[in-house]
Structure 1
Amino acid sequence: MKHYFRSRSMRNYLFFCIGIYSGLRVSDLLTITVREARYNYINKVEKKNGHSKRFVVHPSIRSDLDTFIADKADDEYLFASRQRKTISQLKQQPIDRSTAYRFLNEAARKFGLEEFGNHTLRKTWGYRLYQQDERNLALLIDAFGHSDMRVTLRYIGLTQDLLDRATMRMR
């Protein structure tokens, strides 16, 4: 999907990539400013729970991100809408979460994926971290703000995978 987005829209490509490399909720992704994106780390206070979160800008997108923001002002939103908001008539606002949902789902359908929503980026980050090293589970529990590992495993869609693997290891 990265290649799909990159060939169509740098904004949507970077949105997707930062989503799968940060674990941020969509509501927090939308409020990233160009100033925040100029550094190797982005610090955000999560809207939902007020927790501070710092994440590294993945090296694989650094060059594209630098090119994308080169001519933008620091106070602009990284994922700015090109349209004027209907009710408030404001310009230079971040894209709406429904816009993100729409372009993510259009891409997902191209690849035959169902049940793809705004939270899928966050879950993908968690799934990939867990697959990389199962010892990352404690980090994920903390990052997601869960109180129990079962909640985290279910959240990232691993409950059935773990059962299947355990069954296959039986003698």
Structure 2
Amino acid sequence: MKKQASRPIKNDRTVWDIQDYLKVAANRSCEGMRNYMLFLIGVTTGYRAGDLVNLKVRDAKEALRAKYFTIMEGKKQNSPFVREKNRKPRRAEILPKVAKELKAYIKDKHDYEWLFPSRKGNGHIGVQAVSNILKNAGLYFGLENISAHSMRKTYAYKIYITSGKDIVAVKEMLGHSSIEETKRYLGLDQERYHELSQALGDFTR
């Protein structure tokens, strides 16, 4: 069976609900705060989960000083040589609320520590673990196909709608190489084809 693509969270209230859901857990454990911060940074920067989990506390401190993250990002490739060649820096602002929460989160943490540590304490949290956390949160609110990648897609969809469907703006903020890549990413072709197909229902009256 073909794996379903991750979906964005299109409703702002649902994004807030998931933040609150994770924050409630954050009041009970350090892991809960980690999950909340990861989601908050993910949906407001659009970085890939694989890049976010590799951050260390020193990276967060540098970002807070600069007021933006700069991450060398890129899709995972089989060859380390291809992966290194395709990686490029992308800058994303840290919003004031995110900065406030992040400062509190890293207080008393050491520079060398992982920003989002594994529950076992032997490295950083894995992308699959992030997907599991968000899948459970999504199911609680009746959402399907929510995963770690949904954070980046939620970011992209929000820009798309807020900009008046400016596909170029989305392309630039995601760091895509072409508009076609961005259209595929947002599923715009499929959405448009569906609308046109539905219009053909006029013939069935």
1:107 to 115, 137, 147: 137
Shift in CA distance, 23/54, structure 1 to aligned 2, threshold 3 Å: same
CA contact (8 A) 2:159 2:169 kept: no
Identity %: 32
Equivalent position amino acid for 2:143 in 1: L
Equivalent position amino acid for 2:21 in 1: Y
Instruction: Note the residue ranges of structure 2 that are not aligned, 5 or more in a row.
Output: 1-17, 26-31, 76-85, 200-205
CA contact (8 A) 1:27 1:47 kept: no
Shift in CA distance, 162/19, structure 1 to aligned 2, threshold 3 Å: farther
TM-score if structure 1 supplies the norm length?
0.82
Larger radius of gyration: 2
Aligned partner of 1:77 in structure 2 is 114
Shift of 1:161: 6.7
Q: Distance in 2 between matches of 1:127 and 1:135?
A: 9
1:2 to 19, 32, 35: 19
Equivalent position amino acid for 2:69 in 1: I
Shift in CA distance, 158/59, structure 1 to aligned 2, threshold 3 Å: farther
- The within-5 A match list for 1:89-128 is 91=122, 93-128=123-158
The higher relative CO (CA closer than 8 Å, separation ≥ 6) is in 2
Task: Summarize deviations over 1:108-133 as a string: whole Å, max 9, x none.
Answer: 11011001122111111010001101
Instruction: Note the residue ranges of structure 1 that are not aligned, 5 or more in a row.
Output: 85-90
1:56 to 93, 111, 120: 93
RMSD between aligned alpha carbons?
Answer: 2.3
Aligned partner of 1:140 in structure 2 is 170
CA contact (8 A) 2:47 2:152 kept: yes
